[in-house]
Structure 1
Amino acid sequence: MSDSRIFKAKCLCGEVSFKAEAPLKEVGLCHCSMCRRWNSGPFHAVGIPLDALTVEGGEENISYYRSSEYSKRAFCNNCGSSLYYHGDNIPEISNKVYFSAGLLEEPTGLKLAGHIFCASKGDYYEIEGDLPQHETVE
C-alpha cells in the first residue's frame, strides 16, 4: 500500500494492543443507537482492511458481542474498552474492521471526515460544523 503507515493502539489497561499497516487518513463519527450504547457516545471509527489489523498482545483478552445478525463488536475482557466493530455478515464491509480512534497512540495525523447515522443521533447533543452528515450510511 503506497500511503500505508504503521499505527499502534491499545486498550485502557494495555492488555490488548494492535498494530495496523494501512493508509489511515480519516475518522468517521457514527451516531447510531448501538454505537452510542457500546461506546457511551458517538463512535469515532477508523476503517481498515481486516487483514491489515494485527493483534500484538492480549488476544486472549478479547471477547465479542454479536450486536446484530450482521455484526459483532470486540471489547477487552479486563478493562471493558470498546475495541472494534466488524460487520462480518455484511458483504460490502465484511473485509473491513472499524476500530476506535481513541485507542490510537498519538500523534495520529487523522482528521474527522464526517458523520453517519445522524437520523438516530442522541437527542442530548447537536452535530455542529460543516462536515458531511448522512442520515444512514454514506
Structure 2
Amino acid sequence: MENNAFFWDDIECQKLIMEATKRAMLQSPRTKHRKSTVGTLFAVGGMDSTNGATRIENYALRTNMWTPVANMNGWRLQFRVAVLDDKLHVGGGRDGLKTLNTEERYNPQTKTWRVMPPVSTHRHGLGVAELEGPMYAIVKRKQE
C-alpha cells in the first residue's frame, strides 16, 4: 500500500497508513478487539413441535458453535427479552391462551435464574430495548 499512488493521493489515507506503520499505535481504538469479535450471542426461546421452547443457547463467535446454557422456568410464546446490567430479562408473553406478566432474569456469569416481581400489565408480542440504563417497552397501539 505504501507504494500505491491511489492511497497517497488522499491525505486521510496517508494518515491511516502512517498510523498503521507505527508499532506504538497498534493499540489505538481502531486496532483493538471489538465486542462483536470477542462476545457471545444469545438465542432465547423459539418453537418446538408442541409449544414454545424454554432453552437459551449462546453462540461463541470464536469457536463458531452454539451451546445450550440454560432453560427458562416455563415455556412462553411472544415474550420479550432485553439485556440490562449484563443479564437477560425475559418477561411477558403467553403460555398458550393466557397473557403473562411474569418476569425472570438470567445471569450468564453465575448461570442462575431469579424470579423478578411481576410487571403491572399482562402483555405479549411487544418489543423492548435498553437505552442508557432503563428498559423501554415498545407497544403497537390499536388503530381506532
Task: Verify same fold: TM over 0.5.
Answer: no
TM-score (norm 2): 0.24
Greater relative contact order structure (CA < 8 Å, 6+ sep): 1
The structure whose Rg is larger is: 2
Q: Say which structure is richer in strand.
A: 1
User: What's the TM-score once normalised by structure 1's chain length?
Assistant: 0.25
